[in-house]
Structure 1
Amino acid sequence: MSESQFLLPDVGEGLTEAEIVSWKVAPGEQVAVNQVIVEIETAKSLVELPSPFEGTVGELLVTEGQTVEVGTPIFTVTAGGDPAPAPEPAPADELVADAAATVSHEEEPKPGAVLVGYGSAGHGSSRRRRVSHPGTASIPVAFSGSIPQQSAAPAAAAHAPQAPATARATAPAARPSGPVVAKPPIRKLAKDLGVDLTLVTPTGPIGDITRDDVVREATQATVFRNIQTPEWPDDREERIPVKGVRKAIASAMTSSAFSAPHVSLFVDVDATRTMEFVKRLKNSADFAGVKVSPLLIMAKAIIWAVRRNPTVNSTWTDEEIVVHHYVNLGIAAATPRGLIVPNVKEAQGMTLLELARALEQLTLTARDGKTPPSDMSGGTITITNIGVFGMDTGTPILNPGEVGIVALGTIKQKPWVVDGEVRPRYVTTLGASFDHRVVDGDVASRFLADVASIIEEPALLLD
């Protein structure tokens, strides 16, 4: 029987430190291979570290909330022998709370963030590990890419804000009485989001509950606006440490804003035909159970416009301008821990259905806080969907390393002149920022005009 130390591993992407968010094991507890040991937060995302061994947990060497460097011992483990004495059991109410916050991972994707846009789920990855032989001083573990999620983990519902009873009271009327008709993936989604399917009004073609119905029930009155006015806190001030994702956001935005000379353009667009197209896609059998929104058309429009104006899809390096002949499409995502920008790899080769699924996956994983660093690297151009928050437009800051970003504003009915007559039309405002070192005004204007032309007439995508 020997005691060894578990060192904080390098989870890739050149990260050198991480914060211990929460321990998933306790002294005296038996651990199995691939059991989640601890949840850490790097500068890019939340990561769950799995155990590469079996044994008995000894001492937890690092407390929750502490930031430590890669290679630091974080707990000890005894391989073989009798378990160490277990700590006294927690009170019953704590055990109930812990149980409520834990579910088993299944193969179905887990729900997602408000993608300043939308979604993602399970993500496979390769992992290599090296385990010391019994009796050695430590157990260093090296990870490549993301960490596999193979055991108990916090449910997505733990991250999603829940509407209070007062908000529920003003929600649409409950669904008609009778049996709940929903496919297994939809039931899984409802479970992860904490949605009671008996309260959901179905809109499916056979009276079944769709993915949109579940997401709407989970997010109504919580995503787009504040649902209540809280009392002033007793404390006069709150001090929030600048670390982890928030520190990385601050560094990236400061670097981008003060190193790349931004130029911004705006255009109002009649999006009526986009809204009609989205409605047809939602009713299509091919898109059944897949998230479809104007963001999907916007994404396809940007890919099309990049093909016609390739320099907006570039990187500035001081020595040269690298024009990318592929599109890793970034989607800005608002998560409980801050703004992140995962990207859809090789989006230029995807069909509309493939792109819809990829966008949904990104959002679901982002909301769950499980976006791996690999999903946030290598982006070439970005969309930020501020319309989901009811905003008309804005001046987005470039994602570092990119020279173009487009903002999609809210789409709502406004008076619009059509053939000399004022008619109600669905109108939106597109905003875009560019690195003026790379993108000249004429190129920026042509690019945004091309994006607007697709939003006005999605049939152009058939060209």
Structure 2
Amino acid sequence: MSESKFLLPDVGEGLTEAEIVEWKVAPGDTITVNQVLVEIETAKSLVELPSPFAGTVGELLVSEGQTVDVGTAIITVSSSSADAGVALGAPAHGSTPEVDEAAADTAASVSHEADEKQAPLVGYGSTGHVSSRRRRVTHPGTSAVPVATDATQTETQTQMPPSHAAHAAPPTQHIPNRPETAAAPASSVPVIAKPPIRKLAKDLGVDLAVVTATGPIGDITRDDVLREATQASVFRNIQTPEWPDAREERIPVKGVRKAIAQAMVSSAFTAPHVSLFVDVDATRTMEFVKRLKNSPDFAGIKVSPLLIMAKAMIWAVRRNPTVNSTWTDEEIIVHHYVNLGIAAATPRGLIVPNVKEAQAMSLLELAGALEQLTLTARDGRTQPADMSGGTITITNVGVFGMDTGTPILNPGEVGIVALGTIKQKPWVVDGEVRPRMVTTLGASFDHRIVDGDVASRFLADVAAIIEEPALLLD
């Protein structure tokens, strides 16, 4: 038998420290290769660290809630000679992990007391693992499902309920308040819901007795539960709590919050921001979203005004390429591709994952990519590589009921556009005041690269698509 120490690895992009969130094993447990040992929180994401070898857990060297430096020994494992070194190959410390659609690989540094030998890399454990610290649940064939973020419009705002359930009803059954889809109260009929749906409802705090069922046999679907959770609105204060007994609360600045603070200060005081605003008649966008939602081609795919906004941004970038640039002191790098960032509010703070090569995607492909991006972000499972390399960003403040805002640039980018809430307002059409679905777009630009005329043309182009989506056919 030999005893090995598992060293906290750099899980990507030169991170120097991480917090031990939750141990998945205890002393005396027998573990296997790739079994998840611990969940850690870095400045960018939650990460599950798998074991690079089989054996028996000896001692947990770091307590939950403690922040330690990369390279610190966090656990000891005793293994037989046959078990030692059973793992995959690892990159050098500090290297950037490669990320695919399922999971990222992470470097696992392991020192053996006998020979101080560097152990190889292992992959992540199950991406659907349920943690007691985060509300999430896996659904067969999908990634973990979280609660709402700012990356999608709420049903109240857009009048478009979520979709993409494994057992979703036909699109027409998802129209809110449609009489024929309403289920009878639980007092008159039993609640029909599969175990994963019941688990999801429990995790999200949804009472199944009040959920309107839209399933083909009157059963409650995943969409029904998510819609009910959305209607409850996690972004709205439901009640006013009592004043706490403690006079003050001190919150350590670490993890994502520390990274957000550093990035925002750097952006605000490095790039000279200039902001523009424009009101837009989004009535045709809302009609287009409704048609897409009822289209068989988009069955099971989340469709919202954010999709049209994303397409509008890509179209406007092609017409005004300098807004899709990066500034260096030596040169301006104009990107002829779009890694479209979507600012997402998560329980851990604001993150900005991006859709890679968004300019090459069809409307259907982009819809699927946006949905997957937001689901992963909500669950806190966005990997560092998914947040790097962005070229321009959308922030959806409309989900909070806000008309618009003055967004701060994502570091390394020179343009960001805020999509405000879409709601009915009086609007002058052909000399007459009519009710129309209106939104306000707000945008900020790095004035070192983007002058006022370019910024104005770009935002006008985005507004033109929101006003008339048919222009995308050009």
Q: Same fold (TM over 0.5)?
A: yes
Q: Which residue of 1 aligns with 2:37?
A: 37
CA separation in 2, counterparts of 1:157 and 1:200?
19
Q: Which residue of 2 aligns with 1:125?
A: 104
- Relative distance call for 1:134 and 1:176 in structure 2 (3 A) is farther
Provide Cα deviations, 1:227-280, integer angstroms capped at 9, x if missing partner.
111111110000001111111000000000000000000000000111111111
User: Is the aligned partner of 1:176 residue 2:154?
Assistant: no
Q: Which residue of 1 aligns with 2:341?
A: 330
- Relative distance call for 1:56 and 1:345 in structure 2 (3 A) is same
User: Is the aligned partner of 1:433 residue 2:444?
Assistant: yes
Q: Which residue of 2 aligns with 1:79?
A: 79
Moved more, 13-22 or 339-348: 13-22
Q: Which residue of 1 aligns with 2:414?
A: 403
Contact 1:387 1:411 in 2 (8 A): yes
- Relative distance call for 1:131 and 1:42 in structure 2 (3 A) is closer
How many residues are paired up? 414
Provide Cα deviations, 1:46-65, integer angstroms capped at 9, x if missing partner.
11101121111111111112
SS of the equivalent of 1:157 reads coil
SS of the equivalent of 1:220 reads helix
CA separation in 2, counterparts of 1:233 and 1:130?
44
> CA shift at 1:214, angstroms?
2.9
Provide Cα deviations, 1:329-377, integer angstroms capped at 9, x if missing partner.
0000101111000000000011111111111111111111111000000
User: Is the aligned partner of 1:317 residue 2:328?
Assistant: yes
- Residues 220-299 of structure 1: pairs in structure 2 closer than 5 A: 220-299=231-310
TM-score normalized by the length of structure 2: 0.80
Task: List alignment gaps of at least 5 residues for structure 1.
Answer: 82-120, 163-171
- Relative distance call for 1:128 and 1:65 in structure 2 (3 A) is closer
SS of the equivalent of 2:49 reads strand
- Relative distance call for 1:194 and 1:236 in structure 2 (3 A) is closer
Please tell me the residue identity of whatever aligns with 1:48.
E
Q: Which residue of 1 aligns with 2:69?
A: 69
TM-score normalized by the length of structure 1: 0.82
Contact 1:71 1:140 in 2 (8 A): no
Contact 1:211 1:291 in 2 (8 A): no
SS of the equivalent of 2:386 reads helix
User: Is the aligned partner of 1:364 residue 2:364?
Assistant: no
- Relative distance call for 1:188 and 1:404 in structure 2 (3 A) is farther
CA separation in 1, counterparts of 2:411 and 2:202?
37
Provide Cα deviations, 1:138-197, integer angstroms capped at 9, x if missing partner.
665557xx84535743276359679xxxxxxxxx99832668788999788667656565
User: Is the aligned partner of 1:153 residue 2:130?
Assistant: yes
Contact 1:331 1:384 in 2 (8 A): yes
CA separation in 2, counterparts of 1:136 and 1:227?
59
Provide Cα deviations, 1:40-99, integer angstroms capped at 9, x if missing partner.
111111111011211111111111121111111001111149xxxxxxxxxxxxxxxxxx
SS of the equivalent of 2:442 reads strand
Indicate the structure whose relative CO is greater, using CA pairs within 8 Å and at least 6 residues apart: 1
Contact 1:210 1:289 in 2 (8 A): no
User: Is the aligned partner of 1:444 residue 2:444?
Assistant: no
CA separation in 1, counterparts of 2:197 and 2:147?
19
- Relative distance call for 1:283 and 1:327 in structure 2 (3 A) is same
RMSD, aligned CA? 3.1
Contact 1:5 1:137 in 2 (8 A): no
